Amino acid sequence: MDLQTAEVKMNELRSQLTEYGYQYHVLDKPSVPDSEYDRLMLELVELEGKYPELKTSDSPTERVGGSVLDLFEKVEHSAPMLSLGNAFNEQDLRDFDRRIRQVVGDDFSYVCELKIDGLAVSLRYVDGLFVQGATRGDGTIGEDITANLKTIKSIPLRLRETVSLEVRGEAYMPKRSFEALNKAKAEREEEPFANPRNAAAGSLRQLDPKIASSRNLDVFLYGIGDVGKIKVDSHSEGLDYLDQLGFKTNKERRKCVTIEEVIQYVNSWVEKRPNLPYEIDGIVIKVDLLHQQEELGRTAKSPRWAIAYKFPAEEVITTLLDIELSIGRTGVLTPTAILEPVKVAGTTVQRASLHNEDLIREKDIKIGDKVVVKKAGDIIPEVVNVIADQRTGAEVDFHMPTHCPECESELVRLEGEVALRCINPKCPAQIREGLIHFVSRDAMNIDGLGEKVVSQLFAEKLIVDVADIYKLSSEQLLGLERMGEKSVTNLLTAIESSKANSLEKLLFGLGIRHVGAKAAKTLAQAFGSILKLATANKEELLAINEIGEKMADSIVTFFDQEEVQALIEELKTAGVNMEYKGVMPSTALESDSLFAGKTIVLTGKLEQLTRNEAKEGIEALGGNVSGSVSKKTDLVIAGIEAGSKLTKAEQLGIEVWDEERLLSELNK
């Protein structure tokens, strides 16, 4: 076969295989037997092997997974991938409908879609060719997972038109794939995935695309990133256009004219949800016409023209077999219910937090009880109540111990607290949990150093405090179980990279009592370096907005300890950054912002923004949001049913805005 004949034949095979793949994976209507598809694929593979110069990026053979990556590159989305506000009941939906009508009037319609429980992704096409795929990330910057997304057979590598666009969708793992994956994991005595969402996310964040390929993922596309470039007038037209281009969209969507129709659609899927071959966790409701979406606008994080209705938590009955105790990094003793395995909201649940002894007494929980279990927000398992009338008399009362189960030290209940606490600073459980906290995402964010690896290193006495992490060698790590050369290299690279983190990451990672991620950033901005913070007195700390008595005392006590001073010196010697690298508030805002340098209090219920969104918007423009009104307060934002804070502001003569005035300033 000469080159020209080979090219014609290869183009013909690619066209056939692409069409057969579309019919099978998108339309779910296979037109040829699997054996015929496999025969054609083998023929194409052989021809591409003989004539590699004729291979194209959109070839069906590209889906098998390429070479292993070293890391994921960062990708900036052409338009932000916003999160959605939530509705939890019928009244929330009616309130959403009322807000829409206040802006656009009564002449509009909704599109209702199933909320697929997976991983949000963005796909970019240039002249009809798939060139890049990314995770949602923080909404602005995601990770390039193109190689993994290419393994999803319902994602077209070439569109049916030579258009350039960015589309959004949800990659997910079908229930059948999830069950097969966990069955294989069980056979290998590996930890199973908790749910299909975690499995999908874990699969798409594999550095080896062949692993993603083996997981049999799928995708539904639900929108166009920048609709302005496409000639459609509504969201529903946009979905139809995606169908036309060869994408897979969810056909269960429905156009609704009234909120009554929306509620009827929602209720119908509460019943039908278990029968789907994939997991859903709610319904997404969007205003259909694009010009009305534009008129409604968005907040810093969410569009005002869309909302996600979250299904009520599913409740099931099971048996509470035992109560297990664990010590956290702050010494708090937490009881956990060990349950007879039961399926809740699509996953098998065997454990549920019981929080503290008071909750156990309040709910009258005994070992052996029949209990009602649900997942709060479809995520965290909790015991709702006991079914007392099913007791047999064999149930056993539970009593909290008097001494720490890890180090035998006497447990104490501090004044004003409900939790029992181990106050031994050398308690192994606290040290181990502190190490796990130090490497976590919101702290030093060391990839590859998860809970299991940290526990293993601690058990082997390779790390005793956080400074030891920066002394680890490849020889030490290679001696551990399941640690190959590639894993060790990646881990040591991640440890080295973490040294460059800005100061707030280190402060949060050190686990200073009462200092969360937000306070750590405030302190880092205020003092600039750990040396200045470590030598600050209580008065200097209290002078900073949002730093109260408890936190100030805790910070002074922490840095007064000789062990802490020695630890900081060790980290400094290891090359860990000790200074704030972020943008200072005063340099991050526009000079004409009315919030710059002012102390602002939010009170009452906001209708269009969440309290968090309002706070983030104000802080982004240089304002400080405080929790109480005083003579130092410059401005009060009053929502519906504002109470004593508004009264106090009026008594002190402080300026008061409503939510509309706040939105007007934020939108500038």
Q: Give the whole-angstrom CA distance, residue 624 versus residue 595.
A: 8
**Those residues with Cβ within 8 angstroms of residue 282's Cβ, 6 or more apart along the chain or in another chain:** 115, 308, 309, 310, 311
**Those residues with Cβ within 8 angstroms of residue 65's Cβ, 6 or more apart along the chain or in another chain:** 147, 148, 150, 151, 208, 209, 210, 211, 212, 213
Q: Strand, helix or coil at 285? A: strand
Give, in order, the Cα–Cα distances in Å from 657 to each of 301, 639, 646: 22, 9, 10
Q: What is the full DSSP assignment across 327-383?
A: E-TT-BEEEEEEEEEEEETTEEEEEEE--SHHHHHHTT--BT-EEEEEEETTTEEEE
**Those residues with Cβ within 8 angstroms of residue 560's Cβ, 6 or more apart along the chain or in another chain:** none
**491, 449 in Cβ contact below 8 A?**
yes
Which one from 55, 115, 185, 581 is the annotated catalytic residue?
Answer: 115
Q: Which residue type sits at 21?
A: G
Give, in order, the Cα–Cα distances in Å from 110 to each of 88, 233, 253, 258, 384: 18, 14, 10, 8, 35
Structure tokens at 626: 């405080």
Backbone angle region of 488, left / alpha / beta, with phi > 0 → left and psi within -120 to 50 → alpha: alpha
Report the candidate in 233, 222, 248, 230 with the shortest Cα–Cα distance to residue 306: 222
Q: Which residue type sits at 69?
A: L
What is the DSSP secondary structure assignment for residue 311, as one 8-state letter?
P
**465, 567 in Cβ contact below 8 A?**
yes
Tell me whether residue 505 is one of the annotated catalytic residues. no
Q: How many CB atoms lie within 10 A of CB 61?
A: 17
Q: Give the whole-angstrom CA distance, residue 359 versus residue 384.
A: 11
Give, in order, the Cα–Cα distances in Å from 495 to each of 447, 448, 510, 545: 8, 9, 16, 33
Structure tokens at 487: 């894993």
Q: How many CB atoms lie within 10 A of CB 255?
A: 14
Q: Give the whole-angstrom CA distance, residue 638 versus residue 602.
A: 6
Can you give the three-state secondary structure of 457-477, one letter per residue? HHHCCCCCCHHHHHHCCHHHH
Place of tokens 């694929």: 41
State how far Cα 66 lies from the chain centre. 27
CA atoms within 13 A on the CB side of 454: 25
Phi, psi of 385 (to 5 degrees): -165, 170
Spell 125-162 as b/e; 16+ CB within 10 A means b: beebbbebbbbbbeeeebbbbbbbbbbbbbbbbbbeee
H/E segment holding residue 549: helix 549-560
Q: Which residue type sits at 277?
A: P
Catalytic positions:
115
